[in-house]
Structure 1
Amino acid sequence: MNIAEALKEMTDRLGAASVESSALDAEVLLAHSLGVERYRLLVDRTAPVDPVKLSSCRRLVARRCAGEPVAYITGRKEFYSLEFLVTPDVLIPRPETELLVDMALYYAAPGAGLLDLGTGSGAIAVAVRKNREDIKVSASDISAAALRIARRNCRRIMGDMPIVFRIGDLFSPFEGKRFDVIASNPPYVDPALKPTLQREIRFEPEHALFADDHGRAVLRRIVISAEAYLRPGGIVLLEIGHDMRDFILEAGARAGYVVSVLNDLAGCPRVALLKR
């Protein structure tokens, strides 16, 4: 069997399992199994496929047919043009979150201190520090397993450890510290929506996805607590759900902030900016 034939087989299998991105996922998984870049599948489309690697790819496709996300199967996910290691211990970085990084890079003054709450894979913290070496980045997460992944990503992408990672719930590891920018992509999905979500979601860590009070509990805690950790003139950047514009405007105003909400490329409310 050559590459073109193998690619068709994998695409057909994924399509039969109702995987929406069957062609793309087949390319990613076959390229991963062969240890090549995706473009080589086209360039070498008539080349024979090693039977051992073909069997390996079929096993990966079976996992994808069962709903497991491609990022967990390959152990990799691109975010902000950087490749991050991901495991089921961390949320898979989403393209929508890149807007939060954009805003952090824009608003952070030279030499600013930034705190990333609930860092997970370290995507936000590492992307900010990689693009702005002057920013002093710290990050927290309640999961020791997640912090291990974040530290590995930091080392892989930047060598030495220019980011301070600490385990704990939100602000707790940084008592007495103040920052110019507080950023977070916290859990904000309503647990009541679990039955309606894509099947891939069930593979991701629930504590990084779901929050009480219709998904608002953690966001509310951050808004209420942030003042004690902000330097004068500091800002808070929060990723929010598409239906949370009114909530974050009200919660921020009650805490004494001026709040603005930016939409993502799909036109959905995505990042809230809170400042005094």
Structure 2
Amino acid sequence: MTILEALSWGQAQIKETENEKPKGRHNAKLDAQILLSHILEKPTSFIFAHIDEILTDKQIDKYQRLVARRRRHEPVAYILGEQEFYSRSFIVNQNVLVPRPDTELMIDEALARRQEDPVILDIGTGSGAIAVTLSKELDTELIAIDIDPDALAVAKQNAKKHGVQNKISFMQGNLLEPYLKKQIDLSRGDNYVLILANLPYLTIASWGTLDPDVRNYEPKRALIAGVDGLDFYDELLSQIKSKRNLFPKKTEIMMEIDPHQELTLPRLIKEHFEGAVVTLKNDLANRPRLVIAKI
């Protein structure tokens, strides 16, 4: 089997399952290319420059196994054990969500505040993609929290992989609780606290409508947040409000949302912090994706 024949076979195999997914959400051709590139340990440019090269039996066997996994809707990122985020490769497994391009908007907004030298807290860090990226981009120390020890283990691996393990303080616990227990008072002086939260925000009702790639493989606990999808954000806001005296006047929260929550989350924020200044930022598809609140 040549490289070209392998690509054609792989694409056809994966495409057979596309009718089980929302139209336009996946690309069988690209998946086949990525999987073969992984097997050959070569970039896709090599593949197209050597389409007539004959694959070994071992390479064919490995490729067929990976294609079979993709046919069962296993995300390519889990098959490879890595996902690119903000031009860096991050270790991923089924203990963490696969980092999404939409979340890079949060990175951009945080970087836009670099001159203000914020104290950054990453709540629900998961794979650590946000914390590690900002630690690299800003060359700063920050705090990353997750309730799941298995997720924290992945985040720590990624911090070590990118050489920032000594710049990130990892804490295990529910949202801000482990940080608040330390009673760190940042209210004095010109401190600026930036709280980043990419928490579960999907509704219970939406679970059955998700791609099988997501529904069958990614951790449900990292996706679903009650009837309106705001359970965790509500709890986070309550925690901040209960210890507002520990935070400086200049405290900002960034929260990723589903576009349908563009009105409900700002309303919830106002319920907790009446004088909050709330803005929304759109993602690359021009949909509301990030809520920023000055509280």
Q: TM-score range by the shorter chain?
A: over 0.9
Aligned residue among 22, 26, 31 for 1:25 = 31
Who is 1:268 aligned against?
A: 287
Who is 1:183 aligned against?
A: 196
Distance in structure 2 (CA, Å) of the matches to 1:160 and 1:91: 21
8 Å Cα contact 1:91-1:120 kept in structure 2: yes
Distance in structure 1 (CA, Å) of the matches to 2:62 and 2:164: 32
Establish whether residue 140 from structure 1 lines up as the match of residue 153 from structure 2: no
Who is 2:269 aligned against?
A: 252
Who is 2:237 aligned against?
A: 223
Aligned residue among 193, 209, 219 for 1:205 = 219
| TM superposition shift of 1:225 | 2.3
| TM superposition shift of 1:110 | 4.5
Aligned amino acid, residue 12 of structure 1 = A
| TM superposition shift of 1:136 | 2.6
8 Å Cα contact 2:135-2:164 kept in structure 1: no
Distance in structure 2 (CA, Å) of the matches to 1:226 and 1:264: 26
Distance in structure 1 (CA, Å) of the matches to 2:115 and 2:174: 27
8 Å Cα contact 2:11-2:29 kept in structure 1: yes
Distance in structure 2 (CA, Å) of the matches to 1:127 and 1:186: 17
Aligned residue among 130, 134, 148 for 2:136 = 130
8 Å Cα contact 2:205-2:227 kept in structure 1: no
Distance in structure 1 (CA, Å) of the matches to 2:256 and 2:11: 34
- Count residues in correspondence: 275
| TM superposition shift of 1:111 | 3.5
For structure 1, list consecutive stretches of 5 or more residues without a partner in the other structure: none
8 Å Cα contact 2:136-2:164 kept in structure 1: no
Establish whether residue 53 from structure 1 lines up as the match of residue 59 from structure 2: yes
Deviation per residue, 1:48-71 (Å, 9 max, x gap): 111101111111111110111000
8 Å Cα contact 2:86-2:133 kept in structure 1: yes
For structure 2, list consecutive stretches of 5 or more residues without a partner in the other structure: 187-191
Distance in structure 2 (CA, Å) of the matches to 1:251 and 1:223: 9
Who is 2:92 aligned against?
A: 86
8 Å Cα contact 2:132-2:164 kept in structure 1: no
Q: What is the 5 A alignment of 1:235-246?
A: 235-246=252-263
Who is 1:158 aligned against?
A: 163
Deviation per residue, 1:62-94 (Å, 9 max, x gap): 111011100000001000111000000000000
8 Å Cα contact 2:147-2:173 kept in structure 1: yes
Distance in structure 1 (CA, Å) of the matches to 2:164 and 2:281: 33
Identity %: 33
| TM superposition shift of 1:108 | 4.2
Distance in structure 2 (CA, Å) of the matches to 1:36 and 1:95: 24
Query: Residue 222 of structure 1 aligns to a residue in which SS?
Result: helix
Aligned amino acid, residue 238 of structure 1 = M
- Which of structure 1's runs of 4+ aligned residues deviate more than 4 A? none
TM-score (norm 2): 0.90
Establish whether residue 76 from structure 1 lines up as the match of residue 82 from structure 2: yes
8 Å Cα contact 1:108-1:181 kept in structure 2: no
Distance in structure 2 (CA, Å) of the matches to 1:139 and 1:223: 17
Distance in structure 2 (CA, Å) of the matches to 1:159 and 1:126: 7
TM-score (norm 1): 0.96
Who is 2:12 aligned against?
A: 12
Distance in structure 2 (CA, Å) of the matches to 1:250 and 1:110: 27
Distance in structure 2 (CA, Å) of the matches to 1:69 and 1:231: 42
